[in-house]
Amino acid sequence: MRASQPQQLPDMFVEALNAGDVDAVVSLYEPDGVVAPYPNQLVAGHAAIRSMVSGFLALKPRFSLQDSEVVQTGDLALVRSRMTVKTSDLTGQTIEIAIRPTLIVRWHPDGGWLVAIDRPLTAA
């Protein structure tokens, strides 16, 4: 799954995450892409990203996209979004978290935009 425009990526993430499709999520990243879920933590490469996403999707979160913005120059773009995530806490109660994911994406001549750097849990 590849985005032909960087603006498509937030919707593609929401669709793949809500479907529980780990492979579709991983396909949005460059092979050596990195996710920085927390300060001082990097998850690098498809295998590590797949493991992280699989664990997270086991919680069956539901994502809603409020809006996004893109700043692009040439083959690079910064994509910022506002989303909410509904999931369950350890007691089984539903919680809703507002997040502002930030992506740095790069155009690949073989056909689309892929995520190079992902900061998914930037607080709202």
Domain boundaries, the chain: 6-119
Residue 124 pLDDT exceeds 70? no
Asked whether 106 and 114 are in contact (CB, 8 A), the reply is yes
Q: Which CATH number fits domain 6-119: 1.10.10.10, 3.40.50.740, 3.10.450.50, 3.40.50.720?
A: 3.10.450.50
Confidence of residue 75 (pLDDT cuts 50, 70, 90): very high
Mean pLDDT estimate for the chain: 93
- Those residues with Cβ within 8 angstroms of residue 105's Cβ, 6 or more apart along the chain or in another chain: 3, 6, 9, 76, 77, 78, 79, 113, 114, 115, 116
Confidence of residue 74 (pLDDT cuts 50, 70, 90): very high
pLDDT, tens digit (0-9, with 9 covering 90-100), for 25-53: 999 999 999 999 988 899 999 999 999 99
Indicate the pTM of the whole model.
Answer: 0.92
